[in-house]
Structure 1
Amino acid sequence: MTTTAPPRPAAPATPPSPPSPGRRVLARLLRWWRQLTAMRTALVLLFLLAVAAIPGSLLPQRSLSQNSVNRYFQDNPTLAEWLDRFYLFDVFSSPWFAAIYLLLFISLIGCVVPRAIEHGRTLFTPPPTAPRHLHRLPEHAELPTTLPGTGALDVVEEELRVRRFRVVRREGRSGPEVSAEKGYLRETGNVLFHLSLLALLLGLAGGKMWGYEGSILVTEGQGFCNSFQQYDTYSSGPLVDSSGLSPLCVDLDDFQAQYEDDLTASSYTADISYQLDGGDPVGTTIGVNDPLRIDGERVYVTGHGYSPEFSLTLPDGTSFTDLSAPFLPADQGTLASQGVLKVPDLGAGSTDQLAIEGFFAPTGVTQGAGILTSVDPRPLDPQVAIVVYTGYLGLDSGLPQSVYSLDQTQIDRGLLTEQASGNLAVGESLTLPDGTVVTFSGYQEFAALQLSHDPGQLWVLAASIAVLLGLVGMLLVRRERVFARVGPAPDGGGTVLSIGSLTRGSADTGPRFTALTDDVRAALAARAPAPPGAAPTAHEEAPPS
């Protein structure tokens, strides 16, 4: 008796060991890198960068005009506070804008560099072999000819070389064939476009890192030197050394403003003289779109206004003349301006300080209740409305304060006391209770000047031109491939030339392919041998009789 043991159960399959934590982290990082360097991601980031720049165009920016930002805070205090929390008054230096900018930069590098390497290899790679079924290409034709196969391919090769195709002739799987390709400049333009865009971002980033700009109000007869301490407002990149600024000094000799009939400004011109590194003064004229360009610096005229002039006569006969300060325009249409003149030193023996807070009207008109207003930006009838204070200005308290306005806390604490107020025309005076006489003696014009240094400017210009050239190549050049193959005719007499074409980036391929086949057909007919017994053509000579 034989007993058969039951089969042993199969051993359970050993489960694959899970990947190590390091490998899992590496796989996740590689997946994120592929997503970041995808062209779709680059396009999304480019769109986000354009959208993020919109607030910088709609809202005033501190880097361009601190006064406009201050005015926005005065007009919309609650909204401005919330907008400032999201850096909407410093859009182009905000962390979220820099994050988009940096991600776009990395994405473009990951997209463009491998593509440029691949295109470089393609330039030295012959055209691909012809597909087996040429009749499946978008454009194809079959041309019968009596020429042998090599002769027919010679005709096709000549016609393609005339059209500047790169031609390769080889023995294919289905017989002798010709492969031709042109339009490499299309992909070259594509690579140039993206590399130039990358260079453009680099130039802009370099300008932000090593560039700086400062703004200052300069009254006629005064000037400034290129030093951060002298500017009203300035901004500089993190790699700028304040001790390495160019030694440029500028003096404002004269300023002229021209107006249209509707009182809108048509031009601002400033006659200036400048010195570079202690050299001789050089005179020139600059305008809004005609800045001074020297030693990598640009000096622009960005606006103008008025500086009222006052004279003080103290009770003991001491006088101070030609005291002036820029008044900032509150109304750009009429240049009605507000400001303050601070006099911290009234001479020996005086402990009080004096301030003249006022409103300047280039063409003044007094309305009801003695309210002064301006109706014209031109100085046809200059007047001022002033309030004179005496006391302690707090200039040496160590606390920052604006040179264009009084510290309201000094007034609220009683450290500054109002002494008198009134409206004055040129030459009129206001007498204070202690006998001090304040006289409105005239005005001078000031120019708002901005000095900018951007080392990436030429780089950005060259990159922008390259972007346009690359875009032209992408739009105008077509990538075309033409394949030809010969085979015997079905009836055994002659050869059939099969031609197919494949074009990328164009919809009007039919006319060009038709022109190519017509020329090939005509060349084949011209080279075909004449049939036996055919009459001689007109240009052939008749044999002698």
Structure 2
Amino acid sequence: MARTPYRPEGIDDAFSTGESSSARPDGSAPAPAARPTAPAIGVRGMLRWMWRQLTSMRVALLLLMLLAVAAVPGSVLPQTSQDAAAVAAYLVDHPTTGPWLEAAGFFDVYSSVWFSAIYLLLFVSLVGCILPRTAAHWRALRGRPPRTPRRFARFPAQATGTSSAAPEAVADAAVLHLRGRRRVLPIFRVERGEEPATANRPATATVAAERGYLRESGNLLFHLALLGLLVSVATGQMLHYRGQAILVEERGFGNSVVDYDTFENGALFDPTSLEAFTMTLDRFESEFDAVGTPRDFTAYVTVTEPGGEPTSETIKVNHPLDAGDAKIYLQGNGYAPDVTVRDADGEVAFAGPVPFIPEDQVYTSRGVIKVPDVSPGLEQIGFVGYLLPTAVMEDGGARSVYPQPGNPQLVLDVYTGDLGLDEGVPQNVYSLDTDDMTPSTEEDGTPTTIVLGVGDTVNLPDGGSITFEDLPRYVALDLRHDPALGFILTFSLLALGGLAVSLFTPRRRVWLRTWAEDGRTVVEVAGLARHDDAGLQGQVDDLLADLPGIGAGDGDTSSDDTSSDDTTTNGEADGPAPRKADR
């Protein structure tokens, strides 16, 4: 008689039609089986699923990478908060893509809606990931070590031996060894236990110990510090300010927004919170060797705090000055030729020092002089050219051979026309837009080039004159205030410390069982690591060697290359490893 194969209850052959193969008792055709219907997840279930996805580590890493990608346009495209003139020029040069980028916030990336959304989602993801893990870790810290498994033969690290001491004394000594005799904080969490006698074994004393929860503590500390870094950076960006100012010798500067050449601040910054100190550049000294290599730069300044007396201070490279609530850094230096320009009517149209930007090691400096205030009816004047601190005249022209002012010369080209200052478009003070200007020429039609030494006056071809009065120095100062810098440093150190603890703290479990047999005390020790741990066998051997009554050569150790992540629910380790030594 053929045997009917075993079929679980409720399973039949009518998969395609959905009908049961079993007939009804009355012989009629079976009714079609009802198709399974998945339960509706509902709004609450959908929200729970979305929250679990958002707080997963995979999404957190994805958001972190997305934040890095979103920050790229802020370093590639000009930003309004840093250089409004560059943004305006970009819009003029790119009339098609520029307005689209501006509407999408690519010229103000770090305060745009989409960048803030990524930042906030990353913040929420970290919070939702850290809180459950912290609660679980707290429960684990208060829990008991896992009970002693029945068999030690399957563990990767083992040791056996005999002792002349009583089993209770051996177990008590193992507890002291694992906790650490001279440590304020115990190395292992230890639990001392007893097992009743069985048919195959007498009553035994057991020790269960576990260490390595500090590894998870370090991991949580790292993530909490990362969360603190996000909060600190966001707070600093909202409350910070940063400004650049060029200060010429014997001229002063006041800590107010209008006195900065460029100024950027956070969304929550209050301009009235600036401490109203003043600073004057008394002199600037620079040192160079014989070939022009810089040795030292020192700015001597006088600082007056509100309600205080003037004090003399110095600013050096990498040695900022603390004034008010800001740090003042020496970012650069150069020459600011003091010139006087008169128009064709003999009126002073411009007078004062003009900073020139160094372009090489010998301080060949390029600059622009714009003269918009000429007499009515006259064209505006623009000069563009170079300052040569130590000029040497050659057949092909002139060049500078040393950064210190040995023979300073101004070499300028002259333009007349419309400087474009009245069009409402921001301009760079160090460049001259010559689209609506005409170069001045000599009588023979060649472009006019003016060469001036200190104290020289040269008449302009279209009328007027220019005088090179003096050559003072200037310094470029960078003033920064960020109230979150201390917190950023603290959380950075905590993150590094937590990461180090998480990486270098071993996660280990050690068990000991000892009992009396034939007039001797038998000791078994086993160890298990969370991951590959080269020091696990050494830990087991040290424990056995430190027990009382263990003589030289009495211990027998064995280990296996395979390891297991945890014990099973019945207290035994996974992964077979044959025992190499019997009791």
Distance 1:232 1:24, change over 3 A: same
Q: Number of residue pairs matched?
A: 505
The amino acid across from 1:137 in the alignment is: F
Q: In structure 1, what is the equivalent of residue 214 of structure 2?
A: 185
Check 1:361–1:8 CA distance in 2 against 1; reply closer, same or farther (3 A cut). Answer: same
Percent identity at matched positions? 37
The one-letter code matched in structure 1 to 2:526 is G
- Normalising by the residue count of structure 2, what TM-score does the alignment of the two structures yield? 0.73
Question: CA separation of 1:502/1:362 partners in 2, compared to 1, >3 Å: closer, same or farther?
Answer: same
Partners of 1:319 and 1:356 in 2: CA distance: 16
1:484 partner amino acid? L
Q: Which residue is 1:496 aligned to?
A: 522
| Letter matched to residue 364 of structure 1 | A
Q: Which moved more, 1:449-458 or 1:90-99?
A: 90-99
Query: In structure 2, how many angstroms separate the alpha carbons of the residues matched to 1:149 and 1:255?
Result: 83
TM-score (norm 1): 0.78
Give the match for residue 191 of structure 2.
168
Contact 2:81–2:108 under 8 Å retained in 1? no
- Asked whether the 8 Å contact 1:309–1:440 carries over to 2, the reply is yes
1:287 aligns with 2:320: no
Alpha-carbon distance, 1:215 to partner: 1.1
Q: Distance in 2 between matches of 1:87 and 1:507?
A: 54
Please list, as runs of the form range in 1=range in 2, the aligned pairs for 1:20-39 lying within 5 A after superposition.
Answer: 21-23=42-44, 25-26=46-47, 28-34=49-55, 37-38=56-57
Do the aligned partners of 1:212 and 1:454 also contact (CA within 8 Å) in 2?
Answer: yes
**Cα pair distance change 1:25/1:375, threshold 3 Å:** farther
* C-alpha distance in structure 2 between counterparts of 1:44 and 1:372, whole Å: 58
CA deviation profile, 1:458-492 (whole Å, cap 9, x unmatched): 00111122223223323443333221123453xx5
Give, in whole Å, the separation in 2 of the partners of 1:475 and 1:94: 37
Q: How does 1:244-283 map to 2 (within 5 A)?
A: 244-277=273-306, 279-283=308-312
**Counterparts of 2:40 and 2:173, CA distance in 1:** 61
How far the C-alpha of 1:494 sits from its partner, in A, is: 4.0
Establish whether residue 432 from structure 1 lines up as the match of residue 460 from structure 2: yes
Alignment deviations for residues 28-71 of structure 1 (CA, whole Å, 9 cap, x no partner):
4145225xx31x554565566678778988x797699859989x
Deviation at 1:303, TM superposition (A): 0.8
| Counterparts in 2 of 1:63 and 1:305: CA distance versus 1, 3 Å | farther
- Distance change >3 Å, CA 9–CA 19, structure 1 → 2: same
Distance between the aligned counterparts of 1:143 and 1:509, measured in 2? 18
| 1:342-361 aligned within 5 A | 342-345=370-373, 353-361=380-388
Root-mean-square deviation over aligned CA pairs? 4.1
Kindly provide the CA deviation profile for residues 160-204 of structure 1, in whole angstroms up to 9, marking residues without a partner as x. Answer: 233543321134588542112334433322222222222122222
| Kept in 2: contact 1:155–1:523 (CA 8 A) | no
Taking structure 1 as reference, are residues 160 and 402 closer, same or farther at Cα in structure 2, changes over 3 Å only? closer
Q: In the alignment, which of 108, 128, 140 is matched to residue 146 of structure 2?
A: 128
SS in structure 1 at match of 2:432: coil
Are the counterparts in 1 of residues 417 and 436 from structure 2 also a CA contact under 8 Å?
Answer: no
Structure 2 contact 363–400 (Cα < 8 Å) conserved: yes
Instruction: Name which of 135, 139, 150 aligns with 2:157.
Output: 139
Match of 2:400 among 374, 379, 386: 374
Equivalent position of 1:542 in the other structure: none
Equivalent in the alignment of 1:364? 391
CA distance in 1, matches of 2:115, 2:263: 21
Q: CA deviation at 1:314?
A: 6.2
The residue that corresponds to 2:537 in the other structure is 510
Partner of 2:353: 324
Cα offsets for 1:353-403 (capped at 9, x unmatched): 54433322222244546x444333332221111234556555455443333
Structure 1 residue 422: deviation in Å?
Answer: 1.4
- Alpha carbons 2:163, 2:522 under 8 Å: kept: yes
Q: How does 1:419-458 map to 2 (within 5 A)?
A: 421-433=449-461, 436-458=464-486
Give the match for residue 408 of structure 1. 434
Residue ranges of structure 1 left out of the alignment (5+ in a row): 527-545
Matched to 1:136, the amino acid is R
Aligned equivalents of 2:94, 2:356: Cα separation in 1: 23
- Corresponding residue to 1:465 among 487, 493, 513: 493
Structure 2 counterpart of 1:9 = 30
Q: Is the 8 A contact 2:164 2:549 kept in 1?
A: no
C-alpha displacement of 1:517 = 0.9
- Distance in 2 (alpha carbons) for counterparts of 1:399 and 1:96: 28
Could you tell me which residue of structure 2 aligns to residue 336 of structure 1? 364
Partner Cα separation in structure 1 for residue 496 and residue 80 of structure 2: 29
Aligned to 1:532: none
Partner of 1:198: 227
The verdict on how the C-alpha distance between 1:77 and 1:426 changes in structure 2, with shifts beyond 3 A counting, is farther
Which deviates further from its counterpart, 337-346 or 213-222? 337-346
Whether the 8 Å contact between 2:158 and 2:537 is mirrored in structure 1 is: no
CA distance in 2 between partners of 1:122 and 1:21 (Å): 34
Higher helix share goes to which structure? 1
| Residues 17 and 316 of structure 1: CA distance in aligned 2, closer, same or farther (over 3 Å) | closer
